[in-house]
């Protein structure tokens, strides 16, 4: 052993151990992923698993929004708004309103008043295929 190895505290055994560990790590990386790592879903009944799986998400809160219309307004005009001001929206009177869940259009409907509270009666529900198509844009 040379003086440099003794002074640095590195011995031939240390190098041998490090090379051995490196070889073991490379051998583990070279092995292909085995099928038992991933769960096989083909054996499960689709109907029962879907019913069971959807129960996990039923209590997740989502943001439901009913949109009357939109407009762009300059900050100068926004600051001039006061009680009684009217803002023109791009939606027309009597036009169906958009119902969005987390910003994604899921239906359209019309305003109803029940016991002095506003509500919305759904008139058209967007199909799942259409929702997915809009998400991919």
Tell whether 120 and 93 lie within a shared domain: yes
Tell whether 49 and 1 lie within a shared domain: yes
* Average of per-residue pLDDT across 107-136: 87
* Average of per-residue pLDDT across 118-134: 88
- In this structure, of 12-16, 60-64, 124-128, the range with the lowest mean pLDDT score is 12-16
Q: What is the pLDDT of residues 40-75, one digit of tens each?
A: 666 555 555 556 678 888 889 999 999 888 899 999
For residue 132, pLDDT over 60 is answered with yes
Share of the chain above pLDDT 90, in %: 22
Among 9, 29, 60, give the residue marking a domain's end.
60
Tell whether 66 and 47 lie within a shared domain: no
Closest to 130 (Cα-Cα) out of 108, 97, 115: 108
Query: What residue numbers bound the domain in which 120 lies?
Result: 62-135
Tell whether 43 and 82 lie within a shared domain: no
The whole-number pLDDT of residue 93 equals 78
Tell whether 83 and 114 lie within a shared domain: yes
Tell whether 70 and 129 lie within a shared domain: yes
The whole-number pLDDT of residue 118 equals 86
Question: What is the chain's mean pLDDT, rounded?
Answer: 78
Q: What is the pLDDT of residues 75-107, one digit of tens each?
A: 999 999 999 999 888 878 788 899 998 888 899
- pTM, rounded to two decimals: 0.51
Among 44, 60, 76, give the residue marking a domain's end.
60
């Amino acid at each position: 052993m040379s003086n440099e190895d003794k002074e640095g505290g590195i011995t031939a055994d240390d190098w041998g151990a490090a090379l051995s560990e490196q070889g073991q790590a490379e051998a583990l990386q070279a092995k292909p992923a085995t099928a038992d790592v991933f769960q096989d879903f083909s054996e499960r009944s689709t109907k029962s698993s879907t019913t069971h799986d959807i129960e996990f998400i039923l209590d997740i809160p989502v943001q439901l929004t009913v949109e009357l219309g939109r407009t762009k307004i300059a900050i100068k005009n926004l600051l001039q708004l006061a009680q009684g001001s009217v803002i023109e929206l791009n939606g027309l009177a009597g036009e169906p309103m958009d119902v969005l869940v987390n910003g994604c259009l899921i239906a359209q409907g019309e305003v109803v008043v029940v016991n002095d509270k506003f509500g919305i009666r759904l008139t058209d529900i967007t199909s799942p295929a259409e929702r997915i198509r809009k998400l991919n844009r």
